[in-house]
Structure 1
Amino acid sequence: MSIEWVNGAIEEIRAWGRSRNVAVDVDEVRLLCDYASDYLDVSELSDITPGTFEQLLLDIYPRKVIAPPESAAETVAAAHTLVDFLLESGEIGAKMAVRMRAKIDEIAPQMPAALADTSRFGMAKSIFGAMGADTDALDATSPGSDDFPGQSSHRLRGVTADEECDCPGCSPLPAVRLAPPEAVAQAVREVGLLRDAHRVVTWMLDTGRAPTVRGALRVRDAGRVARELGIAAPALAWELAVTIELAEVSGTTVTARGLRPLAERDDEEVLELWAGTVAFLTGGPAAEVTGWAELDRELYAIHDLLYRLQAPMTVLAIREHLDETWAGDRPSGDDPGELDAALDVLASCGTVRRRGDAVELTPHGLWGLREMYSRMGVAAPIAPDPAEGDAHGLIAALLGEMPAEQAERDIASWLERRSAEEAARELLTAVRGAVAVTRGVAVTIVDRLGPEAAPAVRSFLDDPELRPHAVHWLESKSMGAPALTADEVLWVSVDMLALAMPAAEENPEQFAGNLAGAGPPAHVIEEMWRVDHPDVAEVLDLLGRHLPDRNVAKAARKAAFKARSRGIH
C-alpha cells in the first residue's frame, strides 16, 4: 500500500518525534498517509487539507479498517500529531493548522459511531468481521469487548481489510463440506459451458475450420456456431476448450485426441476437466466470461468471498464489492441491469447459481474451488463428516446452515451406520433436557425409523419432555401407545410450535399461511399459558403476530401475558 513519499514522510515524522520527545503512533500516522495516498490522491504532505481528515476518519476508516469504536480516540490523537508535525515542519501555515485542528475536533465525537455503523462497512471488512479474522498476535492484545464479543478489543489494529483479503493465503480458508465425487461429476456433466466447449471443438473438426494464427475462434465462425448450434458464447467455449486441452492448436491446425462427450467419460476424467474449467473461469481468461470486463476482472475475488462466507451474497453486496474496487471511478455505461445480466451469464457457467437476489456457489463450484486452492498449495480443509460422529455431532451439523440435499445425505449416511433401535436410543438420549429446536431435530429423524426402533422409543416414556413425542411415534406405528393427558397434549403442541420458531422468523409469510390451514384452535391457545414449557411465552407471542384471525391472535397475546405473569419464560 505504501509508496515512496509515505515512507519518506514516516521517517521524517519518526525523527521529529524523537527530537522533541513526542510519542508518535507511527502505525496510525502511516495508515492515515497510506489511505490519503490510495483514495484521496494525496501525493505529498502539503496536499493534506481539513477535508482530507474528514474523508479519512468518517468515510475511509469505517469502510476499510477493522477496529472497534473505542479505538477512534487513538486515530484522532494520531491525526492531531500529524497536524503538529505539518505545522512545525513548514508544510502548512498556522491558519491551516487551526482549521485542521477544528475539523478533527468536530470529527472526534462522530468517529466511534461511524466505526460501529455496519451499513458503512465495505465488503471485505464485513466478511472478515463476520469470520472473526483475528491473528494470534492480536488475540493476546486484550480479552475482548461487549461491542465485539469474542474478538480482540484492538481488532486488527493498523491492519486493514484490504490487506487481509489480497490473496487466499492471508487468512485460513474455512473447512467446507463437499458433495460426493460421483454427485459432483454428475452435476458437471450438465454444465452448459463445458458441453458447449465439446460441441465447438467437434464443429471445428467436422467443418474443417481453422482458428486465427493466435489460436482464437474467428469472428465469422463464432457467428456460425451461434446460429447453427445455438451456443450463446462460442468464443468463450472455444477458449475453454483450448485451455483444458479438449483441442490442440498448432498454428491454424486443430486436432483433438479422444474427444468424447461428457456422458461417456468416467468420473475422474470429468472432475479433471471441471478443475481446469474453474481455474479458467476465475483466473482471468483471454475470452470474456460475462461480457462485462469490470466483473470479469473480479471473478476470482467474488468466488473466493463466496467460498469463505459459505453463504449467499446478494447482488447488492457484489455491487458494493465492485464499487470498492473502482474506488469511486465507476466505469462508463454501468447500470444495475448490466450486473444482473452478467451474473446470469456467470450462473450459466456452472460455478454459481442464483436464487432470487442471492448468488451462491453450486456444490460442484465449491468442489472446483477447493481443488484449485489445493493445487495452488493453499490449505483447504474439509469439515468432518457428521455421519462418522455421534448423535450430538449430527444434530449440531443439521442445526447449522446446510443445504437441504446435504442434510438428507448426512442423515441417511448416519442412519446406515447403526440399527434403527441404536439410532433412536442415541438420538433421544442426546436431546434429553435440550431446547425445543434441538429436540425437534432428533424427533424428526426418529420419525423416519421403522418398528424395529420401538424398544428404544418406549424406554423414553418416563421422560417428561420426550414422553409425548414417544407416544406420538408409537401411535403413528399402531404399536399400542398409552394415552396422553390433556396437559401433555398442550405441552407437545407448544413444543412443536417452538420447533417452528426459527423458520417462522425467517419466513413469516409462509408460517402465517401454515397457521391459516392448520393452526391451533382458540380454546387450545387460551389454555396454553398454563403449560410448564420454557418457550410458551415466545410461542404465544409468535401466534399473536402471525395468526390470520385477529380475535384468535389477540387471545394468543393475552395468553403470552399470563404466561409471563406466572414466571414462565
Structure 2
Amino acid sequence: MANSGNGGVFDLGELRNLIDELGSVSGEEREAMLAEMAGGDEPCDCDDCDGEVLSFPPVELAPSAELAGAVPAVPLVRDARRLAAWTGVRPVTPEGLLPPDDALRAAAELGLTAGRLRLVWIVAVNGGLIRVTGAGAAPGPGLPADLMEFWDGVVMDVLDRIDEGLTGSAVADEHLTEMLATIYATTDGITYAALVEGMLQAHEIGCEARAAEMRRLREVLPAELRAALDLLCYCGLFERAGDGVRLTPLGVWAVRQDLLREGHDAPLMSEVAGFADLSAAELVEAMLSGEAPSSAPALWVERRVPEDAARELIKVAASGTAGQRGVIGTILEEMGPEAEPAMREALAEPAMWRHAAVWLGVRDLPAPALSEDDGTWLAVDTLATLLHVPDAEEAMGEFEALEGGEELLRLVEEIGRSGHPDAIAVLQLLGAHHPDAVIAKAARKAAMKARSV
C-alpha cells in the first residue's frame, strides 16, 4: 500500500467499516486494525512502485579527507592491491579469472581463503587495480584520485555478491540489506544478541519459516552470523563495538549512498538541523511544501519535551486544514504514551477528537468509542488532504481504498452527510478526477445534493 506522501493521518482501507469496532476489541486487536489502515510500515504492492520510500534518521559523516584516507586501510582494499602486485602480468582463464593453480598459489601466499580471493579479484579488476584483456592480466594504474568513488564501487561489488553466497550464511545474505539499514538507523550500533534475534524474526516473518527450520536456525545462526560479521568487518563496513557491531565511518557513508540510490530519505544532520528550531506551524508548512524531509519531525520532537511538542502540534491542527492535520497526525503517530496528557486535551477539539481517540486506542489507553459516522468523518478528513497537494489527481492514485467498487460508492453517498467542512470539496474532487466514471458520476451527484441541503 502506498503512502499518500501528503501527510494523511490514515489511509482509508477499511476505516469506515472497522472504526466502530474499536470500543469492543482488545488493545492488541485495535493496534493491528489501525496499523493495517495506516499502512505506514507496509511495502508498496502497486505495479508502478518498487517499494516503500523509507525515512532514516539524519547522520553526521566523517570529514571527507578522513573518509578518503581510510579507504586504502580497508583490509579488502589492501588485499586487492596486494593481489594486483602478486599477479603482475600473467594469463587468465576465458572467464577472466586466475587459472586454478595460480589461484591456489595466490591464496596460499596472500593468506586468503578461496572465497575471499574471488571477492578480492573482483574488487581489484572492477576497481582498475588489475586490467584484464584478451591477452591476460596486467597491472592497472593503482588507486584512483577519487577514492570515495572507488570505495562506492567496492561496496557495490561486495553487495552484488549476495546472490552467490557472500557471507556463507543463507539467512545473513537474505537479510543483509535489512541488517545494514537497521544498523544505519542505530547510531550506537546493535548488540550481537539483538542482531541474532532480529535476523531470526525477519526470517520467520519475511520468509514464512516453519517451526522446524526456526529451531535449526536458532542453533546454527549465531555462529553463521559471527562469520558473516567477520567478513563485513574485513570489507570495511562494520567494526566491533563492545558486545555488538556498528557501521564504520566508511560504512555509514556507503550505506547512505545505497539508500539514496534506492530513493530513500537519508539526510545529513546539517540538512535537517535547522528545522528543529522551527515552530510547530512553521515545521508543518515546511513539510506540506516539501521543503522539509520526512525525517525532520523526528529531530524536531527529539529536541522538545514530548508532551509540550504534542500540545504545540495539536494547537495548530485544531484550527488548521486537513492537510495540516495529516502532517501533524503523522508526527503524533511516532510519539509514545508520554504524550497522553496532550492527546486527552485534544479530545475537546472538534476537528481533532476523533484522531485523538484513535491515537489513544492504538496505544491501549482509555479512549472514546467511535461510531461509523465518526469513521466516515475521518475518511473525509483523510481524503481532504488531497485538496492541499499540487497534483491531486496523481496523489489520488496512491489511495488504495479509492479503487472503484460498491464500498467506495457507499462511502461517496455518506460523505455528503458527514458534516465535515470539506465534504463538498472532496466530492467535487472525486467527481472531477476519479478515473472510474461510475464513481465520478456518483460523487458529482452527491456534491449537488449536499449543496442543496
The TM-score bracket by the shorter chain reads 0.3 to 0.5
Q: TM-score, normalised by structure 1?
A: 0.38
**Structure showing greater relative contact order (alpha-carbon pairs closer than 8 Å, 6 or more residues apart):** 2
TM-score (norm 2): 0.46
